Structure 1
Amino acid sequence: MQAAGVAAPLKVDIREKRFRSTEGVGVLALRDLSFEVGTGEFACLLGPSGCGKTTTLRILLGLDRDYSGNIRMPVEGSHRIAAVFQEPVLLPWRTVEQNIRLTLPPSLKQVVLDELLEILGLSGLQTLYPSELSLGLARRVALARAFATEPSILFLDEPFVSLDEATADRLRRLLVRVWSARPTTALMVTHNLREALFLADRIIVLSSRPAKVIGVFNVDVPRPERDADQLDRLVLAFKQHFAGVEGFA
């Protein structure tokens, strides 16, 4: 968390975002959506499916500029932004290591990746191609590519969706390990409450569409202590705090 008086590296104030559906119907996706993410904080944006989480992330990544409001991005550090999406988005004609190095800035082109690959369980797989990887391994490569850039801020868009729970749990634990080893400001969108409670320092809770912030839940339990029993207690505390709010798995 940032020190008192230090400006948050990410400040979001989206007054309104509208788009037209494939059927030509106007949709109000976001309205009066405001939140901040502190320096070195791992925050989760939690909300029901379809509420506008991915739309918010697209705006933050600069992929959608058709909105009213203001976004302040990090002004210190590397100024680099990294993202991990729902699909690994690996180039099939490049090896694991080539895919990781593809987005590195000139200053990091010769960086040694051994430690990062070790943390993510990718040691010895550098010369494999995406077609030779399981989906779980491919998503590890996507994580490695993001952290290798040493970003000022990392965005994650439900990177473990569609995985079986055992694989997803392993990847969540690997994400905690690599983020702890290479800390950066991070914002992850998810509709999975237990996932958010396991990963985050703070959960920013969104309403159904049009999305706005309905509250914040601080996860004060140290990550090493967030076992199944502790997560059950956190789930109960969260649901008591947001009684009547539906849509969280």
Structure 2
Amino acid sequence: MTGGLSNAAPGAPLRVSITRKAFRGADGKLVEAIAHVAFEVPGGSFVTLIGPSGCGKTTTLRIVLGLETEFEGSVVRPDPDGRIAVVFQEPRLLPWRTVEENVRLALPEGIGTEDLDELFDVLGLSEMRSRFPTELSLGLARRAALARAFAIRPSLLLLDEPFVSLDEMTAARLRRLLTTVWSARRTTALMVTHNLREAVQLSDRIVFLTERPAKIRGIHEIKVAREARDAEWRETELRRLDREFPGVL
């Protein structure tokens, strides 16, 4: 069955209700990926999906994006005229284009000449604008991918484990940069991650999923302002979540 995908009024939340998603495996057997996953991302908030490998997190993102249409349920996106930006696990930069050219290629007609100085400055890319992707470290390439996503001023931002495979120091720096640029260019954001520390640092709401077929294990709200989430608070919060959702940490 083809699920419903529609747009709500500007500023409305992203509403996801997937009652079933299945696909054929390599052996021809039907695999049930999602049993029932329903949650809401309030307008202008940052929500994270977290759960075991293979539980349907990325499939959920693909459904929200419209790349997966064979599912039962509905998705209502927040803005009928808004743009959607996606940050994948791999930066997916064109190697024959400079960093700035890669970013500007994503700009829609009408804002193609927009001044990107502040965005590049916040992300620490001012000195890298004329470099090619092959000249960048993986951390810098992922900054360029973030710049490309925010440059289009999306109404919905989807992030699929954007900091996976980075060392913790680099990932922590990028999480801080993401928080800074997202706060300056606030948009409705939905991220997939395996990293509970990452979710605690970035999120307003964390949606915990079960093993496949995915169901909602629980939803955790974080009311503490991001600037107040110091190392001591984060460790206390992680211990609390580890007690509430054993095995996630």
Same fold (TM over 0.5): yes
> Which secondary structure does the structure 2 equivalent of 1:45 belong to?
strand
Cα separation, 2, equivalents of 1:181 and 1:7: 17
Paired residue type of 1:71: V
Paired residue type of 2:13: P
Paired residue type of 1:22: A
Correspondence for 1:99: 102
Cα separation, 2, equivalents of 1:19 and 1:57: 16
Q: Write the deviation string for residues 55-112 of structure 1: whole angstroms up to 9, x where unpaired.
A: 1111111111111111101235x51000000000000111100100111111210100
Correspondence for 1:3: none
Cα separation, 1, equivalents of 2:191 and 2:58: 10
Correspondence for 1:132: 135
1:209 aligns with 2:209: no
Instruction: State the number of aligned residues.
Output: 240
1:227 aligns with 2:227: no
Paired residue type of 1:125: M
Cα separation, 2, equivalents of 1:56 and 1:234: 26
Correspondence for 1:32: 36
Aligned-pair identity in percent equals 57
- Structure 1 residue runs of 5 or longer lacking an equivalent are 1-5
Correspondence for 1:58: 62
Paired residue type of 1:63: L
Correspondence for 1:162: 165
Cα separation, 1, equivalents of 2:121 and 2:27: 47
1:87 aligns with 2:90: yes
- Structure 2 residue runs of 5 or longer lacking an equivalent are 1-9
Correspondence for 2:71: 67
Cα separation, 1, equivalents of 2:60 and 2:86: 13
Residue of 141, 144, 147 corresponding to 1:144: 147
Cα separation, 1, equivalents of 2:227 and 2:77: 30
Correspondence for 1:21: 25
Cα separation, 2, equivalents of 1:118 and 1:22: 46
Contact conserved, 1:8 with 1:37, CA < 8 A, in 2?
no
Cα separation, 2, equivalents of 1:117 and 1:91: 18
Paired residue type of 2:206: I
What's the CA shift for 1:8?
Answer: 4.0
Correspondence for 2:174: 171
Cα separation, 1, equivalents of 2:29 and 2:60: 20
The 3 A distance-change label for structure 1 pair 200 and 126 is: same
Paired residue type of 1:19: F
TM-score, with structure 1 as normaliser:
0.93
> Which secondary structure does the structure 2 equivalent of 1:189 belong to?
strand
